[in-house]
Structures are given as structure tokens and as C-alpha cells.
Structure 1
Amino acid sequence: MTEKRWIRRPEGANWGDFGPDDQVGRMNLLTPERRLRAIREVTHGQTFTLSLPLDYPGGNSLFEYRKEPRFFHERRGPGHNYNFRLSNVCGCFSDIVSDDAVLLYTQYSTQWDALSHVGQLFDADSDGMVEKVYYNGYRGGIDIVGPDDAPKARGAQALGIENLATSGVQGRGVLVDLEARHGRNRAVVSYDELMTILDEQHASVEPGDFLCLYTGFADLILKMGKRPDREVLLSSCAVLDGRDERLLNWITDSGIVAICADNFAVEAYPAKEGSGETYPGLPLHNHCLFKLGIHLGELWYFAELAQWLRSNERWSFLLTAPPLRLPGAVGSPATPIATV
């Protein structure tokens, strides 16, 4: 057993509850029994793809540090290894082959946040000095190593997205239909409103579930045809109120393993002003990724699934959503599948 890497953990955190070396957080609650319960949600065998095309939203106006995919092709002989005719001594091969490579920002489009995506300046050593700390006390510059930390960046040596990939990301999804209430209007959703909508849908959220939020944001992105209007997008559709303590407490108590939304950040950003001399700019990310090890999915696509669920008067389904098994990455593209 490894000695824990922190003396003091954040208030309300579950650090150490799943062991001193835990790197998947609340995904530990997705037990075989809960997966079997999720499989029993399937009654029609119909599937829905919950991903945008991974070259959406287009450009980088929505977030300047993430850019759309770029394709590359290796040279082969006088040309490239693309539409390349294989040959041999007798020249009798008829095969044509194509290979490609892509530069892909891991959180450009439909994505998972790894637990190494957002940390905090926090005094985990209880010595009066703050350090760069991530979930379960893993350290920036030691466990999560970037180009400003070392001559050769090593990435997330702990809490990388490969840990989520190997945890078995398949369970029961529950869709909250915020779009039905707010349409494309901007709304900051509190605990009270979230509970009201769940009650109106007669939907229950249980430990081990994936909470899925349909706001219509990804629908807007698709309609913009890879020419996103940043101002329109950031003033449209519903988002969670990350400063609502009752909402954060419910997330803690609910036992959900992840929150998956079709919008840019799940929560309102910029958030309302916090209290104290310093406070998280992304309070829900802080609560989920940093304190509880709850993974966040962003820019998912729920429109077609939501239409089916509405017409069938149900809100739960089997969700299968592994990220890429890419060691050291702090996020990953995803192509989630809902089965109803």
C-alpha cells in the first residue's frame, strides 16, 4: 500500500476513499451489478451516436487554444502513401492503399475530461504553502508534467485518460431535458430547477449513473456549419450553476459517476463571483474533477436520442462511452453510443 501523498484534503473531497493510489474516482461505483442494471434498460436494440463530427465546432473561435483536426500523409516513393498502388517485381498487384495521420486536439469536439484536466492551488501538505494539486493529491510538475516543468514533457503520468478507458465506461445514462424547458434561451440552472425537471420527467438518478444534460447547444453548433458564432453560442442554452452549493452537495450525495453535457463546459463560464480572497473560476469542475473524481463530458450530441426518449416517455438508457486509451493525455475525443 502506497503512503498517501497528502496530509490535508479539500473540504468535501473523497481523496483516499477508494485507496491512496486511486486514479478513476467515482467510476469505482460503476460495479458489475450496476452495469447489468444498465443493460436491462435495453428494450428496442436501437442505437444513437452521441458525438458531433470531430471536426466541429470548426475554427478556434469558441476556444482559441484548441484547433480543428489537420490531416497528414507520409511520402512513399515518388508520391504519398495515399491512393498508392502496391507493386512487386512482376507488376501484377492490383491493390491500392491509403494511410493517413491526424493532429487532433483531444478536447476540441465531443470529449471526456481526464481527472488531470483541472486541479487547484491547494495546501495539501498542510505547511502553509500552496502547491499545484490534482485529484487524490497527485501533483503538477511531478505526476502531471508539461513542457514548462521539464525539458521533455511527459504528460499525465497519473490521472491520464487511459485510466478511464480501462475502467469500463458503460452504464446507465439518465437524460435531463433542459432544452424542452428553455429552448435556445440562456438559463443558469440551479439545484431547485434540476430537481423540478427530474420530478416532471419521473426520472430517478441512482449511484453509478451518468447524468446527461441536453441543452441544444450542440444542435446550434451543427447549424452553424463549422463557422461558430462565439457570442451567440456563449449567450445561448442552459448551463449548470457551479456556484450553487445545494447543487454541488447533490452531486456529492447522488453517487453519479460522470456528468455529460452537450455544451462547452457543463457549467456557466464565467461563473458568478466567488467568496474569499481566492476561489475556483470553474467551481463545478473543481468539485467534480478535483474533489470527487467525477469525470466530465462536453460537447456531446443528444438531439436524436432526446427526441426518441420524449416520444417513448422514458429517460434512461444504456450508455457506452470509452475514451481513447492514450497514455498521458488529459482528455480524449469520444464517440459515445446510447442503446435503448
Structure 2
Amino acid sequence: MMNWTKRPEGSNWGDFGADDELGRLNLIGPEQVRAGLATVTEGRTLCLSLPLDLPGGNLLNPRRHPPRLSPTELDGAQYVNFPLANLDPALRDVISDDRVILYTQYSTQWDSLAHVGAMFDVDDNGVPEKVYYNGHRADRDVLAPAKTGGSSRAERLGVETMATHGMQGRAVLVDLAKVFGTNRRVIDRDDLMHALDATGADIRPGDFMMLRTGFAERIVEMNGAPDVEALDRTGAVLDGHDLALLQWITDSGIAAICADNYAVENPDPPLGATLKLPLHHHCLFKLGLPLAELWYLADLAKALDALGRCDFLLTAPPLRLPGALGSPVTPIATI
């Protein structure tokens, strides 16, 4: 039985099953993994993550803060450089053990499909309600603290579904910075098609589409002290209000979009817009197509350019953290 009576226009709700939680990730199967493996010629790996304490501070998003490490504790003792001789004079071990307060979408990250939903009349009764991909409901499937006694939790659509699926396959780098430079530019469908042609990027169904804009490189240069005004002038962002671009995303069959910028799309809606994040709405809410932000792609771009190609094997599972709405990730490219 479906979770919905009416699905949004242009969505794929129900196409992968009545209770599906993977969306377009269903398109990543053995064939796509083998296609990714087939790109490996050098046996070289590259880390695509920023240090997780970047961008630094909370100016990019006042709700998100850098990770904070501290020692684990037992009986008042802090376990960093802790000699077990304190417990038993015969022991020579020294123990260091820590914990972290970590905002799951502060730095290099995956959005889960529970990250962005919409007010939608899913029961076709004239009453819009808070709902997520494939009709999963707020307060039943995505729980706020009032429902759990103090925590948040995605009972459905959490990042662990992505983790267990594997998140590995063929990826294609679209180097927007190489084509358009690193100044801010809002990319519509025509721009994207030009970039694909200019770089020779061959996008296939089930691929991870990677977008390099130069934004993460500026973050690294700022060394933990981001200049928000400068960053607002840096890097391409997709135009989520371009219906032709959204239709291309639907038709392309891509499984996910991974970008080196913040938000992937232009976060400044035009006057009169009813959605602040229309690309998130289209991808996460309608298609079940995950988005990833703040990946570091400079070294990968240089390596692929030297090889004269754009495709590679991507391995990028999120944390298998049940109920999480997003996750840090340490993506690895193998070329």
C-alpha cells in the first residue's frame, strides 16, 4: 500500500516500490559498480573531503558549528595520555580515547532524503502537510524531539539506508571552474550542457555527477576564517528555478549530485518564489536523489585532466548512523 494518495507532479514516488527509501540510488547496481571499476587504470586514490573542521566558525550557517573533541571520562579521570598504572601499578599501557560533538552537515557531507521535505496535499484532501520523499510523513517517519523525548530521528529515510546500499559506482567530474572560471555564476541547463560538451563529460544513468566550482578551494585558502562576502562571489551554483535543468536531471538518470560548494544550488530565490531551495525540492523530495556538499575536488580535477578523462570510481558511504538526517563523509576517488 502506498504512503500517499497523490504524488507530486514530476516525481517518481512509487516507481521503486510503495515503501522505498532509496530513490534514485536504486539505479546504482552491479552494472554501475563494474562501470566504476572499469575506469581504474592507475590504482591511485584521492581523498575528496575537506578537513571536517572547515569551513571554520558558523558564518556560513549559524545553526552548524565545527566539531569539538574531548576526552572520554571514567570516575573523574580523562582518558588522554592516561597511564593504566594509575589503576594497576603493574600495567605499562597509556590510553588516549575521545568523543566528539559533531554537526552532521557542517563540512563535507551527504544530505539524507529526510533532509528536505515540503508542505504537500499527499492525501488529496485539500490539506497540505509536512511530507518527505515517497510520502514518508513528519511526526511518524521523521521525528522531532517532541515525539522522542528530546532527540531527532529519521525512522525512515535516514542516512543508514544510503550507507547499507554502499554508495559506490561510476562518477563523472564536470569541471565548471575550468569552463566558467571560479567567480559566482548561476548555471542553467544550457550552461551545464556547454560544460559537458567542453569537458567531454559523459553522463550515464546511475552515475554520480560531480561538480567542481572552486568554492571548497577558497574555503581551504581561508584556513578556518571564512570571508562570507568573498565566498558569495565564488563558484558556480545550479539554478533550481530553471525548469529545463530540473527536467534534464530527471531525464539523465543520474543517481546523485556531489558539489564542492555550499548548497549545490543558488540559495537566493527570486521575488515571489514559493521555494527557497527548488533543486533540493526536486532532487530530495520528488526524485529521492541525494545531494552532497563541500567536497574537495581540486586534486581530482588535476589528476583527471592529466589523464584526459572525467570518469572514475567513487566510494562514498555516509556514516551508518541510524536515524541521522545527514552525515559527514570521506569520499575516495580511485583512478
Distance 2:313 2:149 in 1: 44
- Structure 1 residue 48 and structure 2 residue 43: aligned? no
Superposed, which structure 2 residues align to 1:187-336 within 5 Å? 187-273=185-271, 279-336=274-331
The number of residue pairs the alignment matches comes to 335
Distance 1:221 1:167 in 2: 31
Distance 2:315 2:148 in 1: 37
Contact 2:119 2:128 in 1 (8 A): yes
Amino acid at match of 2:12: N
Distance 2:114 2:252 in 1: 23
Contact 1:243 1:274 in 2 (8 A): no
C-alpha change, 1:124 and 1:87, in structure 2 (3 Å) is same
Q: Could you tell me which runs of 5 or more consecutive residues in structure 2 were left unpaired when the two chains were aligned.
A: none
Structure-1 residue corresponding to 2:13: 15
Amino acid at match of 1:57: P
Amino acid at match of 1:272: P
Distance 1:32 1:263 in 2: 30
Amino acid at match of 2:159: I
Percent identity at matched positions?
Answer: 54
Deviation, 1:211, is 0.3
Cα distance per residue 1:36-81 (max 9 Å; x no partner)? 1110100000111000000000100010000011112233456311
Distance 2:87 2:29 in 1: 57
Distance 1:154 1:110 in 2: 21
Distance 2:45 2:221 in 1: 23
Structure-1 residue corresponding to 2:63: 65
Amino acid at match of 2:157: L
Deviation, 1:242, is 0.6
Partner of 2:49, secondary structure, is: coil
Contact 1:52 1:299 in 2 (8 A): yes
Contact 2:27 2:205 in 1 (8 A): yes
Identify the match of residue 104 of structure 1 among 94, 102, 105: 102
Distance 1:90 1:111 in 2: 43
Deviation, 1:154, is 4.7
Structure-2 residue corresponding to 1:157: 155
Q: Could you tell me which runs of 5 or more consecutive residues in structure 1 were left unpaired when the two chains were aligned.
A: none
Contact 1:215 1:237 in 2 (8 A): yes
C-alpha change, 1:245 and 1:56, in structure 2 (3 Å) is same
C-alpha change, 1:74 and 1:202, in structure 2 (3 Å) is closer
Distance 1:182 1:159 in 2: 36
Amino acid at match of 1:53: P
Contact 1:182 1:237 in 2 (8 A): no
Bigger shift: 79-88 or 203-212? 79-88
Distance 2:267 2:88 in 1: 64
Structure-1 residue corresponding to 2:124: 126
Contact 1:241 1:271 in 2 (8 A): no
**RMSD of aligned residue pairs (Cα, Å):** 1.4
Distance 2:330 2:148 in 1: 33
Amino acid at match of 2:14: G
Deviation, 1:94, is 1.4
Contact 1:172 1:317 in 2 (8 A): yes
Amino acid at match of 2:249: I
C-alpha change, 1:64 and 1:196, in structure 2 (3 Å) is same
If the length of structure 1 is used for normalisation, what is the TM-score?
0.95
C-alpha change, 1:193 and 1:89, in structure 2 (3 Å) is closer
Identify the match of residue 143 of structure 2 among 145, 161, 183: 145
C-alpha change, 1:91 and 1:127, in structure 2 (3 Å) is same
